[in-house]
Amino acid sequence: MTDRPVPLTREGKAKLEQELEDLRVRRREVSEMIHNAQEQGTSQNDAEYDDAKMEQGRVEGRILELEDIIRRARIIDEDGGRASGRIMIGSVAHVDWDGAERQYQIVGAPEADAAHGKISNESPVGSALLGKAVGDVIEINAPRGLIKVKVLKID
Protein backbone atom coordinates (compact mmCIF):
# COMPACT_ATOMS: atom_id res chain seq x y z
CA MET A 1 0.00 0.00 0.00
CA THR A 2 1.05 3.53 -0.65
CA ASP A 3 1.18 6.50 1.69
CA ARG A 4 -0.15 8.87 -0.99
CA PRO A 5 -2.92 11.14 0.41
CA VAL A 6 -6.47 10.31 -0.65
CA PRO A 7 -8.63 13.38 -1.36
CA LEU A 8 -12.12 13.07 0.14
CA THR A 9 -15.02 15.39 0.82
CA ARG A 10 -16.29 15.51 4.40
CA GLU A 11 -19.40 13.69 3.22
CA GLY A 12 -17.33 11.04 1.44
CA LYS A 13 -15.16 10.41 4.49
CA ALA A 14 -18.25 10.12 6.70
CA LYS A 15 -19.76 7.53 4.31
CA LEU A 16 -16.56 5.48 4.35
CA GLU A 17 -16.42 5.64 8.16
CA GLN A 18 -20.04 4.45 8.35
CA GLU A 19 -19.31 1.58 5.94
CA LEU A 20 -16.33 0.62 8.10
CA GLU A 21 -18.49 0.59 11.23
CA ASP A 22 -21.14 -1.53 9.45
CA LEU A 23 -18.46 -4.00 8.34
CA ARG A 24 -17.14 -4.31 11.88
CA VAL A 25 -20.65 -5.34 12.95
CA ARG A 26 -20.85 -7.73 9.99
CA ARG A 27 -17.49 -9.19 11.04
CA ARG A 28 -19.01 -10.33 14.35
CA GLU A 29 -22.04 -11.82 12.56
CA VAL A 30 -19.84 -13.79 10.16
CA SER A 31 -17.71 -15.03 13.05
CA GLU A 32 -20.87 -16.41 14.71
CA MET A 33 -21.90 -18.09 11.45
CA ILE A 34 -18.53 -19.83 11.23
CA HIS A 35 -18.71 -20.90 14.86
CA ASN A 36 -22.24 -22.33 14.43
CA ALA A 37 -21.30 -24.22 11.27
CA GLN A 38 -18.25 -25.72 13.01
CA GLU A 39 -20.31 -26.84 16.01
CA GLN A 40 -22.84 -28.69 13.87
CA GLY A 41 -20.10 -30.47 11.96
CA THR A 42 -22.35 -32.11 9.36
CA SER A 43 -21.56 -32.30 5.67
CA GLN A 44 -24.66 -30.17 5.01
CA ASN A 45 -23.04 -27.34 6.95
CA ASP A 46 -19.76 -27.61 5.06
CA ALA A 47 -21.22 -25.36 2.36
CA GLU A 48 -22.42 -22.90 5.00
CA TYR A 49 -18.98 -22.92 6.57
CA ASP A 50 -17.27 -22.37 3.21
CA ASP A 51 -19.65 -19.51 2.37
CA ALA A 52 -19.07 -17.92 5.76
CA LYS A 53 -15.28 -18.19 5.37
CA MET A 54 -15.47 -16.55 1.93
CA GLU A 55 -17.65 -13.77 3.37
CA GLN A 56 -15.16 -13.36 6.21
CA GLY A 57 -12.34 -12.88 3.70
CA ARG A 58 -14.34 -10.31 1.75
CA VAL A 59 -15.29 -8.39 4.91
CA GLU A 60 -11.75 -8.44 6.31
CA GLY A 61 -10.29 -7.28 2.99
CA ARG A 62 -12.71 -4.37 2.73
CA ILE A 63 -12.07 -3.39 6.37
CA LEU A 64 -8.33 -3.22 5.70
CA GLU A 65 -8.93 -1.19 2.53
CA LEU A 66 -11.23 1.30 4.29
CA GLU A 67 -8.88 1.69 7.26
CA ASP A 68 -6.05 2.50 4.84
CA ILE A 69 -8.13 5.03 2.87
CA ILE A 70 -9.36 6.77 6.03
CA ARG A 71 -5.83 6.84 7.47
CA ARG A 72 -4.56 8.60 4.32
CA ALA A 73 -7.63 10.83 3.87
CA ARG A 74 -7.10 14.50 3.13
CA ILE A 75 -10.27 16.56 3.40
CA ILE A 76 -10.93 18.62 0.28
CA ASP A 77 -11.28 22.39 0.68
CA GLU A 78 -14.45 22.73 -1.39
CA ASP A 79 -14.68 26.50 -0.80
CA GLY A 80 -11.12 27.07 -2.01
CA GLY A 81 -12.04 25.87 -5.48
CA ARG A 82 -14.90 28.34 -5.77
CA ALA A 83 -12.68 31.23 -4.70
CA SER A 84 -9.90 30.39 -7.16
CA GLY A 85 -12.12 30.43 -10.26
CA ARG A 86 -10.51 27.18 -11.38
CA ILE A 87 -11.75 23.61 -11.21
CA MET A 88 -10.14 21.79 -8.30
CA ILE A 89 -10.88 18.57 -6.46
CA GLY A 90 -14.18 19.27 -4.74
CA SER A 91 -15.42 21.69 -7.42
CA VAL A 92 -18.69 21.16 -9.27
CA ALA A 93 -18.11 21.84 -12.95
CA HIS A 94 -21.03 22.67 -15.26
CA VAL A 95 -20.02 21.82 -18.81
CA ASP A 96 -21.49 21.85 -22.29
CA TRP A 97 -21.06 18.33 -23.63
CA ASP A 98 -22.34 17.96 -27.21
CA GLY A 99 -24.98 20.63 -26.66
CA ALA A 100 -26.21 19.24 -23.33
CA GLU A 101 -25.35 20.80 -19.99
CA ARG A 102 -23.93 18.32 -17.50
CA GLN A 103 -22.48 18.83 -14.08
CA TYR A 104 -19.76 16.85 -12.36
CA GLN A 105 -18.24 17.10 -8.93
CA ILE A 106 -14.55 16.22 -9.02
CA VAL A 107 -13.78 13.90 -6.10
CA GLY A 108 -11.13 11.42 -5.03
CA ALA A 109 -11.33 7.92 -6.50
CA PRO A 110 -12.80 6.20 -3.39
CA GLU A 111 -15.99 8.28 -3.51
CA ALA A 112 -16.45 8.49 -7.28
CA ASP A 113 -20.01 7.65 -8.36
CA ALA A 114 -20.66 8.60 -11.99
CA ALA A 115 -24.37 7.80 -11.68
CA HIS A 116 -24.62 10.64 -9.15
CA GLY A 117 -22.35 13.07 -10.99
CA LYS A 118 -19.24 12.45 -8.88
CA ILE A 119 -16.22 11.66 -11.04
CA SER A 120 -12.71 10.80 -9.98
CA ASN A 121 -9.89 13.28 -10.33
CA GLU A 122 -8.00 10.36 -11.90
CA SER A 123 -10.58 9.67 -14.63
CA PRO A 124 -10.00 11.02 -18.16
CA VAL A 125 -12.75 13.63 -17.80
CA GLY A 126 -11.91 14.55 -14.20
CA SER A 127 -8.19 14.97 -14.81
CA ALA A 128 -8.82 17.01 -17.99
CA LEU A 129 -11.13 19.40 -16.12
CA LEU A 130 -8.72 20.09 -13.24
CA GLY A 131 -7.28 23.59 -13.41
CA LYS A 132 -9.67 24.84 -16.09
CA ALA A 133 -11.71 28.06 -15.84
CA VAL A 134 -15.10 29.21 -17.13
CA GLY A 135 -15.02 29.51 -20.92
CA ASP A 136 -12.21 27.01 -21.43
CA VAL A 137 -12.81 24.42 -24.15
CA ILE A 138 -11.17 21.09 -23.49
CA GLU A 139 -10.53 18.13 -25.73
CA ILE A 140 -10.68 14.94 -23.70
CA ASN A 141 -9.24 11.71 -24.96
CA ALA A 142 -11.79 9.28 -23.49
CA PRO A 143 -12.12 5.54 -24.10
CA ARG A 144 -14.88 6.14 -26.65
CA GLY A 145 -12.95 8.81 -28.58
CA LEU A 146 -12.14 12.51 -28.55
CA ILE A 147 -14.71 14.64 -26.70
CA LYS A 148 -14.94 18.45 -26.65
CA VAL A 149 -16.45 20.12 -23.60
CA LYS A 150 -16.76 23.76 -22.62
CA VAL A 151 -16.71 24.88 -18.98
CA LEU A 152 -19.86 26.93 -18.33
CA LYS A 153 -19.79 27.43 -14.57
CA ILE A 154 -17.85 26.36 -11.48
CA ASP A 155 -19.45 25.87 -8.08
- pLDDT number for residue 45: 64
The share of the chain scoring above pLDDT 90, in percent, equals 72
The stretch 121-150 carries a mean pLDDT of 91
pLDDT band at 104 (very low <50, low <70, confident <90, very high): very high
Q: Range(s) for CATH 1.10.287.180 in the chain?
A: 6-74
Judged against a pLDDT cut of 80, whether residue 109 lies above it is answered with yes
- pLDDT number for residue 145: 85
Q: What's the CA gap between 63 and 65, in Å, rounded? A: 5
pTM of the prediction?
0.82
Judged against a pLDDT cut of 60, whether residue 26 lies above it is answered with yes
Select the CATH number that applies to the domain covering 76-154 from these four: 3.40.50.10490, 3.90.79.10, 3.10.50.30, 3.30.470.20. Answer: 3.10.50.30
Q: Range(s) for CATH 3.10.50.30 in the chain?
A: 76-154
Judged against a pLDDT cut of 60, whether residue 1 lies above it is answered with no
Answer yes or no: CATH 3.40.640.10 is held by domain 6-74.
no
- pLDDT number for residue 47: 83
Q: Say which residue, 123 or 143, is predicted with more confidence.
A: 123
